[in-house]
């Protein structure tokens, strides 16, 4: 078995000899950190480009790295087709009946043949079902289908969400985000808008900029109203009416309204919200490969969808901390049309931003295409790795060579003619890898995919792989502690019926109205300030809560355990609705002393029942933030462990590299010594044989059999045999030296592998213990800032 399960490396295939094209047997192990400088995969149809992309994503998933995959062709959903047991019945539902018919066999037989082929293919690459199971357990694969219910629905048009502070506070970043978002929206309307000349683009850009600078979100309905009545009256030096008359603005608003009202467009507003963090990770913090399938969309819808997703990805990226390790992948299976060399579609700007800036955030961008002449190679010069498969035309080869020359200094490490020669002879699944982190290009054959490469999936097949999620709003963060205990309440008397008169209260009692209604009942409205402090956890956190506390109908006072959070947008009123009716006051509610007693009881209740829950990872000395869920903290922990692992790996490799180099050099020297000694031994043996032959001939044909000359010859022959024996001894000693050096090198390599295994185990995120800690409020800082009698409409909920 080839040892490819190493830390921070992807097993992509095997290295080939560039001269013979034969396998060297060495695995092609690609450092995951190299993807931080992005990658481009180019190859014509049938080159194996999609298979290579799937294997790369499989390796990322096994390493715990999430990926967002934009899939214009429908092939990447094959990542869902993983069958650890490799049974024929696993493959059977995915066999094309027409293909089986053309092959003259049944679907069941074709499935059996496919299962056999997959088992044998995996075995040829030192893989098996256990590795498929490892892939399945390492990450979830989900297929999303915006504008369709085929896969998991993804809502793109529910809101124009304000970007995070990292974008909003950066004028250049905000301008890019606005420009790209507006261009994508107008593309959906079929408007090819120039940002500098288009009235539509300028108007919408100003509306979004004003709104987002104020930290506010928009939905399409609000945007339509803002087009008709913009929050400004001047654009540049012209008044609004001169620049864009109301009649023309109404036409633009109607186009958007028609889009919004279209029955076929309802699916764009349904499903999970477009939240990159939620796409990349499950709520429990498990990495996910999120495949965004857009094969079913029209060209304009695809452009809008890709632009919208890329914008959100850029915004998410800028909210992350910097890292030198690979954090996440953005993979696009066919980038043709989205990054052209001359035109500027709305998708181009966010792609350029990612290629230029994503490296600092540990995000790798991988772009694949079969049409190299239609790509902006100046933009792709930011890519550090090029995976070049079989190309269709000479023009394609020339274009690739031109792009590589500008990609990096490593492009000078190989001959251009040599490159073109290698590209001309590539077969299926063979690629030339040019990596700026390597000394020279590498010829490789991609490994057998763990996923079943069935080909493009139909909408029905995607539906069978996905359970649509009906959520339309982000799931709320898990509450650390409920505001009140959920113990079953004892049976109580019914609430008193409302009367007609509003009860009179002493002036020192605070009185508020929580909205309007025909009938009011009395509760308490409390504003409580809570302070959590723990120096050892670097915790110093204040919370302000607003509660409504009902009274017990049995007249025993307020029920603190049934307190509910008040809606943040609920405003206290000073007067009731006209003609409203009021329930009688609960016992003690008309006495000011009762509120002081209730305030103290509320403080005690908060102290007992509202600790804050934190999570701690001791190996990283990392503590969760207040309000951070366990899943979110596990994501940060995994990223931290991966970064720590990569640093430890670099340090270990730097420590062992000189020792390994010296060991290999000593083996080379010892091998050369063996060659020299063997040459000398062969020469000595030959000389001894010649001397013996001369002595024998002299003895047979010489005139004087016992002459001193023949004796001398015999003595020389004997000395020759002695030298030959000594030389053979030198050969044995030289070979022993080679064996000894090889043994030392094997021991050194075993030591390195042992240390790597220890590092792998030590830095595996799933092996790291996460502690759950509860910190109570600091009692001395816990204050009830306001406690009022609240008149609550009978129909108020929260």
Please write down the HEC assignment for all residues of 603-659.
Answer: HHHHHHHCCEEEEEEHHHCEECCCCCCHHHHHHHHHHHHHHHHHHHHHHHHHHHHHH
Rounded Cα distance, 89 and 581, in Å? 70
At which residue do the structure tokens 């005139």 appear?
Answer: 703
Cβ(466)–Cβ(151) below 8 Å: yes
232-272 confidence digits (pLDDT tens): 899 888 899 999 999 999 999 998 888 878 877 777 878 88
User: Which of 139, 132, 157 is closest to 147 using CA atoms?
Assistant: 157
Place 159 in a pLDDT band, splitting at 50, 70 and 90. Answer: low
Q: 187: part of which helix (H) or strand (E)?
A: helix 171-188
- Sheet strands side by side (includes 385-388): 23-31, 9-16, 442-446, 430-435, 385-388, 39-42, 363-369, 328-332, 67-71, 288-293, 140-144
Q: Would 365 be classed as within a structural domain?
A: no
DSSP state of 149: S
End-to-end CA distance of the chain: 62
At which residue do the structure tokens 């299962």 appear?
Answer: 115
Q: 163: part of which helix (H) or strand (E)?
A: none
Question: In angstroms, what CA-CA distances link 365 with 47, 78, 236, 327, 335?
Answer: 21, 20, 38, 11, 12
Q: Would 233 be classed as within a structural domain?
A: no
Rounded Cα distance, 625 and 23, in Å? 51
Query: Concatenated DSSP letters for 261-330?
Result: H-GGGGGGGSSEE--HHHHHB-TTS-BEEEEEE-TTS-HHHHHHHHHHHHHHHHHHHHTSPP-SS--EEE
What torsion, rounded to 10 degrees, do the Cα atoms 416, 343, 42, 413 define?
30
Q: Is the pLDDT of residue 471 over 70?
A: no
CB atoms within 10 A of CB 36: 21
Assess whether 517 and 531 both reside in one domain: yes
DSSP state of 457: P
Rounded Cα distance, 431 and 423, in Å? 8
Mean pLDDT of 634-659: 88
Assess whether 545 and 657 both reside in one domain: no
42-54 confidence digits (pLDDT tens): 998 889 999 999 9
Q: What is the pLDDT of residue 483?
A: 44
Place 1 in a pLDDT band, splitting at 50, 70 and 90. Answer: very low
Q: Would 654 be classed as within a structural domain?
A: yes
Place 709 in a pLDDT band, splitting at 50, 70 and 90. Answer: low
Cβ(341)–Cβ(303) below 8 Å: no
Higher pLDDT, 55 or 188: 55
Assess whether 677 and 743 both reside in one domain: yes
Structure tokens at 21: 């094209």
Q: Would 741 be classed as within a structural domain?
A: yes
The number of domains in the chain is 2
Q: Is the pLDDT of residue 569 over 80?
A: no
Q: What is the pLDDT of residue 713?
A: 53
Assess whether 668 and 744 both reside in one domain: yes
Assess whether 564 and 669 both reside in one domain: no
What torsion, rounded to 10 degrees, do the Cα atoms 90, 91, 92, 94 define?
120
- Lowest-confidence region among 157-166, 389-398, 490-499, 594-603: 490-499
Assess whether 756 and 787 both reside in one domain: no
Q: What is the pLDDT of residue 395?
A: 79
Q: Is the pLDDT of residue 472 over 70?
A: no
Q: Is the pLDDT of residue 475 over 60?
A: no
Q: What is the pLDDT of residue 683?
A: 65
Rounded Cα distance, 142 and 152, in Å? 8
Mean pLDDT of the chain: 84
320-368 confidence digits (pLDDT tens): 889 989 999 999 999 999 999 888 888 998 999 999 999 999 999 999 9
Rounded Cα distance, 76 and 140, in Å? 14
Structure tokens at 48: 């194996």
Rounded Cα distance, 741 and 48, in Å? 42
Q: Mind spelling out the 3-state secondary structure of 481-518? A: CCCCCCCCCCCCCCCCCCECCCCCCCCCCCEEECCCCC
Place 500 in a pLDDT band, splitting at 50, 70 and 90. Answer: low
Assess whether 674 and 566 both reside in one domain: no
Q: Would 252 be classed as within a structural domain?
A: no
What torsion, rounded to 10 degrees, do the Cα atoms 13, 19, 21, 22 define?
-80
Structure tokens at 59: 């390796």
Q: Would 285 be classed as within a structural domain?
A: no
Rounded Cα distance, 187 and 181, in Å? 10
Assess whether 530 and 590 both reside in one domain: yes
415-437 confidence digits (pLDDT tens): 677 777 778 778 899 999 999 88
Q: Is the pLDDT of residue 490 over 70?
A: no
Q: With DSSP H G I counted as helix, E B as strand and the rest as coil, what are the percentages for the chain, rounded to 5?
A: 50, 20, 35
Q: What is the pLDDT of residue 495?
A: 47
Structure tokens at 89: 């019945």
Q: Would 576 be classed as within a structural domain?
A: yes
User: Which of 673, 677, 680 is closest to 740 using CA atoms?
Assistant: 673
Structure tokens at 621: 């000395």
Q: Is the pLDDT of residue 532 over 60?
A: yes
Assess whether 743 and 657 both reside in one domain: yes
User: Which of 734, 745, 736 is closest to 664 using CA atoms?
Assistant: 745
767-783 confidence digits (pLDDT tens): 888 999 999 999 999 99
Higher pLDDT, 526 or 417: 526
CB atoms within 10 A of CB 303: 21
Q: What is the pLDDT of residue 158?
A: 64
The parent domain of residue 594 ranges over 511-611+776-793
Rounded Cα distance, 317 and 361, in Å? 7
Structure tokens at 667: 């083996």
Assess whether 677 and 643 both reside in one domain: yes
- List of residues 6+ apart from 176 with CB closer than 8 A: 314, 349, 350, 353
Q: What is the pLDDT of residue 489?
A: 43
- Quick one: 699 exposed, middle or buried, by C-beta within 10 A (0-12, 13-18, 19+)? middle
Assess whether 584 and 641 both reside in one domain: no
Assess whether 725 and 737 both reside in one domain: yes
């Amino acid at each position: 078995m080839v040892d490819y399960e190493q830390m921070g490396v992807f097993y992509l295939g095997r290295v080939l000899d560039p001269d013979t094209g034969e396998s060297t047997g060495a695995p092609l192990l690609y450092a995951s950190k190299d993807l931080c400088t992005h990658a481009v995969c180019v190859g014509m149809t049938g080159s194996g480009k999609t298979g290579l992309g799937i294997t790369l994503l499989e390796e990322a998933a096994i390493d715990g790295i999430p990926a967002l995959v934009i899939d214009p062709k429908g092939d990447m959903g094959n990542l869902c087709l993983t069958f650890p047991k490799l049974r024929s019945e696993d493959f059977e539902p995915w066999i094309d009946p027409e293909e089986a018919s053309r092959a003259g066999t049944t679907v069941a037989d074709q499935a059996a043949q496919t299962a056999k082929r997959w088992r044998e293919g995996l075995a040829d690459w030192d893989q098996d079902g256990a590795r498929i199971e490892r892939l399945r357990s390492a990450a979830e694969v989900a297929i999303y289908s915006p504008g369709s219910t085929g896969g998991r629905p993804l809502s793109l048009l529910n809101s124009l969400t304000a970007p995070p502070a990292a974008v909003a506070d950066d004028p250049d970043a905000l301008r890019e985000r606005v420009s790209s978002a507006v261009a994508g929206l107008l593309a959906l309307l079929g408007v090819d808008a120039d940002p500098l000349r288009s009235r539509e683009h300028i108007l919408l850009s100003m509306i979004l900029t004003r709104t987002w600078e104020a930290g506010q979100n928009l939905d399409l309905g609000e945007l339509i109203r803002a087009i008709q009545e913009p929050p400004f009256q001047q654009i540049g030096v012209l008044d609004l009416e001169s620049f864009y008359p109301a009649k023309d603005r109404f036409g633009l608003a109607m186009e958007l309204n028609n889009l919004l009202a279209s029955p076929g467009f309802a699916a764009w507003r349904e499903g999970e919200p477009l939240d990159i963090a939620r796409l990349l990770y499950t709520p429990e913090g498990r990495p996910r490969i999120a495949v965004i399938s857009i094969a079913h969309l029209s060209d304009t819808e695809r452009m809008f969808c890709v632009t919208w997703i890329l914008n959100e990805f850029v915004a998410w990226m800028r909210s992350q901390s910097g890292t030198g390790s690979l954090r996440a992948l953005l993979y696009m299976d066919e980038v043709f049309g989205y990054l052209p060399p001359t035109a500027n579609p709305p998708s181009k700007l966010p792609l350029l931003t990612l290629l230029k800036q994503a490296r600092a955030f540990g995000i790798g961008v991988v772009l694949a295409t079969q049409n190299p002449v239609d790509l902006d190679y100046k933009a792709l010069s930011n890519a550090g790795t090029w995976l070049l498969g079989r190309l269709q035309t000479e023009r394609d080869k020339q274009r690739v060579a031109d792009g590589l020359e500008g990609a990096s200094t490593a492009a000078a490490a190989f001959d251009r003619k040599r490159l073109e020669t290698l590209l001309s002879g590539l077969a299926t699944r063979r690629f030339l890898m040019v990596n700026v982190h390597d000394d020279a290009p590498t010829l490789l054959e991609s490994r057998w995919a763990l996923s079943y490469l069935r080909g493009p999936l139909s909408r029905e097949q995607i539906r069978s792989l996905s359970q649509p999620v009906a959520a339309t709003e982000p799931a709320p963060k898990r509450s650390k502690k409920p505001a009140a205990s959920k113990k079953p309440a004892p049976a109580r008397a019914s609430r008193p019926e409302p009367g007609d008169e509003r009860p009179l209260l002493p002036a020192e009692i605070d009185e508020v109205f929580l909205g309007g209604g025909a009938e009011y009942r009395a509760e308490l409205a409390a504003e409580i300030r809570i302070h959590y402090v723990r120096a050892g956890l670097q915790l110093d956190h204040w919370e302000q809560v607003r509660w409504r506390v009902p009274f017990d109908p049995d007249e025993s006072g307020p029920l603190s355990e049934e307190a509910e959070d008040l809606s943040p947008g609920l405003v206290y009123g000073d007067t009731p609705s006209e003609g409203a009716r009021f329930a009688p006051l609960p016992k003690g509610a008309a006495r000011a002393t009762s509120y002081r007693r209730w305030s103290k009881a509320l403080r005690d209740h908060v102290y007992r029942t509202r600790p804050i829950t934190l999570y701690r990872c001791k190996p990283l000395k990392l503590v969760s933030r207040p309000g951070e869920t366990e899943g979110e903290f596990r994501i940060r922990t995994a990223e931290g462990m991966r970064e720590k692992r990569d640093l430890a790996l670099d340090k270990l490799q730097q420590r062992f590299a000189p020792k390994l180099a010296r060991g290999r050099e000593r083996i080379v020297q010892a091998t050369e010594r063996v060659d020299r000694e063997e040459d000398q031994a062969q020469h000595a043996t030959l000389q001894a044989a010649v001397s013996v032959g001369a002595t024998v001939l002299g003895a047979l044909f010489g005139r004087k059999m016992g002459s001193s000359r023949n004796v001398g010859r015999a003595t020389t022959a004997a000395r020759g045999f002695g030298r030959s024996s000594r030389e053979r001894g030198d050969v044995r000693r030289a070979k022993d030296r080679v064996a000894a050096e090889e043994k030392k090198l094997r021991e050194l390599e075993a030591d390195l592998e042992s240390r790597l295994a220890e590092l792998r185990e030590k830095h595996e995120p799933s092996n790291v213990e996460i502690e759950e800690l509860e910190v109570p409020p600091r009692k001395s800082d816990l204050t009830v800032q306001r406690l009022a009698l609240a008149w609550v409409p009978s129909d108020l909920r929260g």
